[in-house]
Amino acid sequence: MRLLIIADTHVPLRAKDMPTQVWREVDEADVVLHAGDWVHADLLDRLEQRARVIGVAGNNDGPDLHTRLPEVATVELDGMRWAVVHETGPAKGREERCAKDYPDVEVLVFGHSHIPWDTTAPGGLRLLNPGSPTDRRRQPVCTYMTATVDSGVLTEVTLHPLPGREGGSPRADGRRGPAR
């Protein structure tokens, strides 16, 4: 099972749309996991037309998304238990805190920081943050993740940099860099 893992798309505030490379990954994925901060429900609608979507609402999402999406989504994918949440709190102590807060899952996908993250907590919980495909913030480039699950085993997790996205994210007004 091929998974696309994204978060913090902020469409159309930080970018007019997701990069073409990410849309190609949507079409290749069996499931898209989105860890919140969509900003507008139009992106959710377009994703759902093309793929199975497991998503959550983030702190920048309005009531329209909060009525459609949970704060925490749990799902079993090819024999593996996953949870998706937007925010997990500070980096310090994250693994132990998440292992305590999500004892019944094997993989936790989160967003919010725009900082890619791939660690394993004591007890085996895998924590994944794909960064952002549209708003790199203080990161060198925008990013997303893909993963493969085979019969209950996570066999591959890949962080993908987005070429040409190192100079700042295109904003809704067409300029580059962070909106002020």
pLDDT (0 to 100) of residue 165: 57
* Token representation of residue 153: 């085993």
pLDDT (0 to 100) of residue 104: 96
pLDDT (0 to 100) of residue 169: 41
Which residues make Cβ contacts (< 8 Å) with residue 61, sequence separation at least 6? Answer: 36, 37, 38, 39, 69
Do 160 and 150 meet the contact criterion of CB atoms below 8 Å apart?
no
Q: Kindly indicate whether the domain formed by 2-161 is annotated with CATH number 3.40.50.720.
A: no
pLDDT (0 to 100) of residue 126: 98
Domain edges within the chain = 2-161
Which residues make Cβ contacts (< 8 Å) with residue 135, sequence separation at least 6? Answer: 8, 10, 14, 15, 114, 142, 169, 178
Which residues make Cβ contacts (< 8 Å) with residue 30, sequence separation at least 6? Answer: 1, 2, 3, 51, 52
Residue-wise pLDDT for 110-127, tens only, equals: 999 999 999 999 999 999
Residue 176 scores a pLDDT above 50: no
pLDDT (0 to 100) of residue 91: 94
Do 159 and 171 meet the contact criterion of CB atoms below 8 Å apart?
no
pLDDT (0 to 100) of residue 179: 34
Query: β-strand 80-85 against 117-120: which pairing, if any?
Result: unpaired
Residue-wise pLDDT for 22-69, tens only, equals: 999 999 999 999 999 999 999 999 999 999 999 999 999 999 999 999
**3-class SS at 125?**
coil
CA–CA separation, 7 and 56 (whole Å): 9
Residue-wise pLDDT for 74-113, tens only, equals: 999 999 999 999 999 999 999 999 999 999 999 999 999 9
> What's the 3-state SS for 159-170?
EEECCCCCCCCE
Residue 166 scores a pLDDT above 60: no
